[in-house]
Amino acid sequence: MLRRHLLLGFAGLAAMSAAAPVAAQETVKVGLIATLTGPQAASGRQKVAGAKLYMALNGNMVAGKKIELIIKDDTGVADITRRHAQELIVNDKVAAISGFSLTPLALAVAPVITQAKIPAIIMTAGTSIITERSPYFVRVSFTLPQQSVPIAEWIAKNGAKTAVSLVSDYGPGIDAQDAFKMRFEEKGGKVLEQLKAPLANPEFSAFLQRAKDLKPDALFLFVPAPTAGSLMKQVIDRGLIEANIKVVGTGDITDDDQLNGIGDSVLGLVTSHFYSAAHDSPMNKKFVEEFKKANPGMRPNFIGVGGYDGMHAFYQALEKTKGDTDGTKLVEAMKGMSFESPRGMLTIDPATRDVVQDVYIRKVEKKDGELYNIEFDVVKQVKDPIHK
Amino acid sequence: MLTILFDGVAYGMLLFVLAVGLCITLGLMNFINLAHGAFAMAGGYLTVVMMNRMGISFYWCLPAAFIFAAVLGVVLERTLYRRLYDKTHLDQVLFSIGLIFMATAAVDYAMGASQQIVNLPPELNGRVEILGANVGVYRLFVIAICGLLTIALQYVIARTRFGSRLRASVDDGRVARGLGIDVTGIFALTFAVGSGLAGLGGALGASILSMDPSFPLKYMIYFLIVISVGGASTITGPFFASILLGVADVAGKYFIPAVGGFIIYTIMVAVLIFRPQGLFTRSAKR
C-alpha cells in the first residue's frame, strides 16, 4: 500500500516537474549517495572528495543556476541506498542522484529512478548490466569486462597458455572472470579454474594455495579496491610470484589509494585500468595536485576521478539543457557526451549510456619515492564487450 | 596437503587466542561481552600505529598490544561492565553491541575507514620447507606463540592457586567471598587477561585478518561459532573447536572452492543439532 502511494507520488512529482516553470527554480540540487561508513568507506571518501573538488574548481553556477550537492551515507547497504534515493527525490527534489559504490547499491535504485524519471550517475559500480536496468542510468566509471579484456589479451600475447582467475563472489567479480575467460580462450589460452572468494571474508590463503597448486602461467585477480591490500599481501606471502606465476588483474588490486601501504613487493605487477594517478596529462597533474591539497594524506584513485567526472557530466548536461532540470532531457543531454577527464578522453555511448574510454596496461614502479601504476600500453576507446 | 593443514591450524590458533577471552568472560563469569572484538581491534590498531607511524619493532608491539588491551579492559570493567554483571543477558548484549558501534565509529574517525596494512619484519616473511610442506614463516610464528599461550593458560587455570580461586569464585561467588577470596578483584584481573589476549590476537592477526573499523562485527560471528561449537566452560573445548573450524574452513575453501566459505557454518549447525551444549562440554556438570 505504502509502496503504491510512493509510486503515485513519483508519478505526480514527475508530472509536476515537467509542468513547473523552469525559470522559477533558483537552486538545482544533486544527491550524492556514497558509502562513508563500513568496510567500503574508503571508496565513499574518494568519491565525495572528487565531487567536491570539481565544484571547488569549477564554481557552483551552471546556466544561471546554483548547484547544491547533498551527500548521504548508505553504509554499503542496498536498502539504505534506496531509501536515500527516495528521500532525495521526494523531499529534496533533486535533479539527479549519483554515487553508488557497489553494484547492488546501484541496482536497488533502478525502479525508483525509472518511476521518478530522475537521472542517476554511476560514479563507481562496475557490473555491465546496471545501465540496462533503467533508462535513467548513466555511467562515468567503468565496467569490469571493459577492464578485464585488455589484460586477458596482454597476458595471452606475453606467452601465457594457462590461467586461473580469483575474484570476489559478487556481480562485478563474475563479470570480470567471465570476460577474462572469454577473451583469454579466444586468444588460444585455457582457464584452468575460476575461483570465487566470499565478498565478506578477507582470508584468501586457501584460494591462493589452490591457485598455486594448479600451476598456471598466469593468475588473474579482481577484488573491490578496499580489500586489495590484504589480498596482495597474501599473494606475495604465499610465494606465487616466485613460483613463476604471472600475477595480473584489473587496476583495483593496485589501487592508487592503497598502493604505497602494500609495499615494494608489488613492484613490476601488471594490471589494466582506466585511471592511474600517474597518468601523463596536464589535466591529471593539476587534478592530482589539487586533490592532494584539498585532502591531505589522500591520493586520488579511480573512485575519486569517478566522483569528479560524474559532476562534470551533470554540469555539462545542465549547460546543454540551458538549465532545464527535466530528468529525461538531462539523460538525453548526457548521451553521446564526450569530454577530457583526468583519465583521458571519455565518451558516453548514446546507445547504452555506458562509458567508452581508453584502458591502459600499467606496471607498478617507484617514482619520487612513491609507488605508482605507470602506463606503458593502451587500448583505445574500449566499449563494454558484453552490451549488445 | 600438509600446507593446507598447517594453514588451517595457524588460522584456528589465531581464532583461539582472539576468542579465548570471550570464553573466559562468558563461561567463567557468565557475562556476555559481544564487544570482545573491539579489544582485538584495539590491539591491532596499536600495532599499526606503533609500527607504521613510530617505527617500533613488531616484537615490541605484541606485548604492548596485550598490555594496552588489558588496561583498556580493566578501565572499562571497573567503570562500565561491572554494573552489568547482575543484569539480564539481554541488557548485556545490548550494551556490548552498543560498545561495538562506538568503537567502530571512533576508529573510523581517528584512523580512517580503509584497511590498515602491517609490514612484518623481513625474517617473518617468506616460506620454509617442513616435512615436505611449504609453510609460511609467519604462520609458524603464530602457531608457536598461540601454542605457548594455550599451555600457559591451561596451567594457570588448572594448577595454580589463582586458578583454583577463580574456579571457586565462578562456582559459588558467595561462598568464595565468605572464605576471604577477593572475588571482584579476581574477576577484574580475569577480564583484563581476556581482553589482553584479544589485543594480542589482534596484533598477531593484523597482517592476516585485515584490520578495518568493522573488525569487531566481522569477527564476532567467528568468536561465537568457536564458543558454540567448543562450549564455554573449559579452555580445551574452544581450543579444539578453533582448530577444527580453522582447518575445516581452509580445507573447505581449498578442496571445494564453490561452497568453501559455507563449511564453517555447516559444521556449526551439525554440532548444534547433535550436541547443543557444545562438542567438549560435559552435559551433566554439577
Task: Provide the pLDDT for residue B231.
Answer: 78
d(CA A175, CA A103): 11
Share of chain A above pLDDT 70, in %: 92
Domains contained in chain A, CATH given: 2-142+282-353 (3.40.50.2300), 144-273+359-382 (3.40.50.2300)
Question: Secondary structure of chain A in the HEC alphabet?
Answer: CHHHHHHHHHHHHHHHHHHCCHHHCCEEEEEEEECCCCCCHHHHHHHHHHHHHHHHHHCCEECCEEEEEEEEECCCCHHHHHHHHHHHHHCCCCCEEEECCCHHHHHHHHHHHHHHCCCEEECCCCCHHHHHCCCCEEECCCCHHHHHHHHHHHHHHCCCCEEEEEEECCHHHHHHHHHHHHHHHHCCCEEEEEEEECCCCCCCHHHHHHHHHCCCCEEEEECCHHHHHHHHHHHHHCCCCCCCCEEEEEHHHHCCCCHHHHCHHHCCCEEEECCCCCCCCHHHHHHHHHHHHHCCCCCCCHHHHHHHHHHHHHHHHHHHCCCCCCHHHHHHHHCCCEEEECCEEEEECCCCCCEEEEEEEEEEEEECCEEEEEEEEEEEEECCCCCC
**Closest by Cβ to B207, choosing from A169, A233, A239:** A233
Q: Between residues 222 and 251 of chain B, which touch chain A (CB distance below 8 Å)?
A: 249-251
- Suggest the residue from B125, B214, B253, B255 to mutate for an interface test with chain A (most A CBs closer than 10 A): B253
Over 70: is that where the pLDDT of B156 sits? yes
Of residues B203 and B174, more confidently modeled: B203
Residue B93 contacts A, CB cutoff 8 Å: no
Q: What is the pLDDT of residue A25?
A: 52
Q: Is the pLDDT of residue B30 over 80?
A: no
- What's the pLDDT at A86? 95
Comparing CB atoms, the residue among A206, A239, A263 nearest residue B260 is A206
Q: Radius of gyration of chain A from Cα atoms?
A: 21
pLDDT > 90: percent of chain B: 14
Most confident of A19-23, A239-243, A303-307, B250-254: A303-307
Q: Report the pLDDT value the prediction gives residue A18, as an integer from 0 to 100.
A: 47
Interface of B with A in 136-155 (CB under 8 A): 136, 138
Average pLDDT over residues B189-209: 88
Mean pLDDT of B19-40: 84
pLDDT above 70 (res A2): no
Instruction: Give yes or no for residue B281 having a pLDDT over 70.
Output: no
- Kindly state whether A308 is in contact with chain B, defined as any CB-CB distance less than 8 angstroms: no
SS3 of B32, please? coil
The residue among B261 and A284 whose pLDDT is bigger is: A284
Question: Residue A179 has what pLDDT?
Answer: 92
Residues of chain A with pLDDT > 90, as a percent, come to: 61
Q: Closest partner residue to A263 among B119, B252, B254, by Cβ?
A: B119
Q: Kindly list the residues from chain B whose CB atom is less than 8 angstroms away from the CB atom of residue A39.
A: 113, 212, 214, 218
Q: Which residue has the higher pLDDT, B58 or B260?
A: B58
pLDDT for B21 equals: 83
Mean pLDDT of B159-169: 86
Contact criterion met (CB < 8 Å) for A206 and B254: yes
Predicted local distance difference test score (pLDDT) of residue B110: 82
Q: Flag whether residue A260 sits within 8 Å of chain B, measured between CB atoms.
A: no
pLDDT at res. B188: 86
Q: Which residue has the cell 551552471?
A: A62
Report the alpha-carbon distance of residue B19 to residue B200 in Å, rounded.
Answer: 11
- Are A45 and B260 inside 8 Å of each other by CB? no
Q: Are strands A65-73 and A61-62 parallel, antiparallel or unpaired?
A: antiparallel
Q: Looking at the partner chain, which of A203, A229, A230 has a beta carbon nearest the beta carbon of B11?
A: A203
- Sheet with A61-62: strands ordered across: A61-62, A65-73, A27-34, A96-99, A120-122, A137-139
Whether the pLDDT of residue B284 is over 60: the answer is no
Is the pLDDT at A136 greater than 80? The verdict is yes
- CA pair distance B7, B12, nearest whole angstrom: 8
Instruction: Give the pLDDT score at A3.
Output: 54
Q: Dump pLDDT digits (tens) for B46-59.
A: 998 888 788 888 88
Tell me which range, A112-116, B12-16, B224-228, is most confidently predicted by mean pLDDT.
A112-116
Query: What integer is the mean pLDDT of A99-117?
Result: 93
Q: Nearest Cβ partner of B210 from A36, A202, A238? A: A202
Q: How many beta-carbon contacts under 8 Å exist across A and B? A: 98
Residue A105 and residue A128: Cα distance in Å, rounded?
A: 14
Confidence (pLDDT) at A347: 94
Q: Which of B107, B35, B45 is nearest to B73 (CA)?
A: B35
Residue of A169, A203, A234, A257 to mutate, interface with B, max B Cβ within 10 Å: A203
How far B152 CA lies from chain A's nearest CA (Å)?
A: 28
Report whether pLDDT(A361) > 60: yes
A112, amino acid identity = V
Backbone angles phi, psi at A325, to 5 degrees: -100, 15
Average pLDDT of B20-36? Answer: 82
Q: Can you say whether the dihedral through the CA atoms of A218, A219, A224, A226 is positive or negative?
A: negative
A9 touches chain B (CB under 8 A): no
- Structure confidence by residue, pLDDT tens digits, A213-229: 899 999 999 988 777 87
Give the pairing of strands A344-348 and A355-367: antiparallel
Can you give the pLDDT at residue A249? Answer: 92
Measured between CA atoms, how close is A327 to chain B, in angstroms? 34
Which residue's entry shows cell 573512485?
A303
Give the integer Cα–Cα distance in Å for B229 and B241.
6
> Phi and psi for B128 in degrees, rounded to 5?
-130, 160
Question: Is the Cβ–Cβ distance between B47 and B202 less than 8 Å?
Answer: yes
CB atoms within 10 A of CB A382: 21
Instruction: Give B-chain residues touching A37 at CB under 8 angstroms.
Output: 104-105, 108, 113, 213
Rounded to the nearest integer, the mean pLDDT of chain A is 88
**How far apart, in whole angstroms, are the C-alpha atoms of residue A375 and residue A360?**
6
Backbone angles phi, psi at B135, to 5 degrees: -125, 150
Beta-carbon separation of B214 and A39 below 8 A: yes
Count of beta carbons in the 10 Å neighbourhood of residue A268: 11
Q: Which residues of A touch B126 (CB under 8 A)?
A: 239
Which residues on A lie below 8 Å from B103 (Cβ)? none
- φ, ψ for residue B28 (rounded to 5)? -85, -40
pLDDT digits (tens, 9 = 90+) for B64-116: 999 999 999 999 888 888 888 888 889 989 999 999 999 988 888 887 766 77
Contact A196 B257 (CB under 8 A): yes
Which whole number is the average pLDDT over A367-387?
Answer: 88
Mutation target for B interface from A36, A40, A237: give the one with most B CBs within 10 A: A237
Task: Report pLDDT for B8.
Answer: 87
Q: What is the mean pLDDT of residues A57-81?
A: 91
ipTM attached to this prediction? 0.71
Is some CB atom of chain B closer than 8 A to the CB atom of A41? yes
User: Which span out of A167-181, A202-216, B133-147 was modeled with the highest average pLDDT?
Assistant: A167-181
C-alpha closest to that of A327 among A112, A123, A128 = A112
User: Binning pLDDT at 50, 70 and 90, where does residue B164 land?
Assistant: confident
Indicate yes or no: CB of A198 within 8 angstroms of CB of B250. no
pLDDT top residue among A299 and B85: A299
Choose between A255 and A81: higher pLDDT: A81
Instruction: Please say whether the beta carbons of A154 and A210 come within 8 A.
Output: no
Residue B5 at interface with chain A, using a CB cutoff of 8 Å: no
State the average pLDDT over residues A81-87.
95
The pLDDT of residue A200 is: 67
Q: Tell me the chain A residues in contact with residue B209 when contact means C-beta distances shorter than 8 Å.
A: 202-203
Range with the poorest average pLDDT among A3-17, A67-81, B125-139, B148-162:
A3-17
Pair type for strands A270-273 and A120-122: unpaired
Distance from CA of B39 to the nearest CA of A (A): 18
Per-residue pLDDT, A77: 87
Q: Which residues contact B178 (CB under 8 A, 6 or more apart)?
A: none
Q: Does B127 lie at the interface with A, CB-CB under 8 angstroms?
A: yes
Distance in angstroms (rounded) separating the CA atoms of residues A303 and A48: 9
Average per-residue pLDDT for chain B: 84
